Amino acid sequence: MALKFATDWTATGKHLKFSYLGPSPSGKTGIFGVFSSHDETFLGTVGYLAKWRQYTFDPEANTTYAASCLQDITEFCEHWTKEQKEMHEGFPAISFRADRGDDGNGA
């Protein structure tokens, strides 16, 4: 099942929900929480790892994931990695420093 991305920087899959938690310390990237869509259990965070130049998932201890959950996590990381690369290359994309407006892009 493909993720459904919303304009408020959230995404929902069959079993997982991704929510924007705030900017990274540098303000150049975002940090997202990963939650169970069934009971809102916090499962980990997705953040940008500069040395790998991509968003990565940092799971909470003692959590286990089915293949479908890992596919959703992969899709989410790939989506935001693409956004980050477009922003870095000068394309109009996102700014995590500005206050978010209704369109989720700081407008």
Residue 101 pLDDT class (50, 70, 90 cuts): very low
As a whole number of angstroms, the distance between CA 31 and CA 15 comes to 20
How much is the pLDDT for 1?
52
As a whole number of angstroms, the distance between CA 74 and CA 56 comes to 8
pLDDT exceeds 50 at position 102: no
Q: Half-sphere exposure of 80 toward its Cβ, with a 13 Å CA cutoff?
A: 29
Instruction: Kindly report the pTM of this predicted structure.
Output: 0.80
pLDDT digits (tens, 9 = 90+) for 1-41: 588 888 778 899 889 999 999 988 888 889 999 999 999 99
Q: Which residues pair with 45 in a beta bridge?
A: 33, 58
Residue 28 CA, distance from chain mean position: 14
- What is the enclosing helix (H) or strand (E) of 76? helix 67-88
Residue 80 pLDDT class (50, 70, 90 cuts): very high
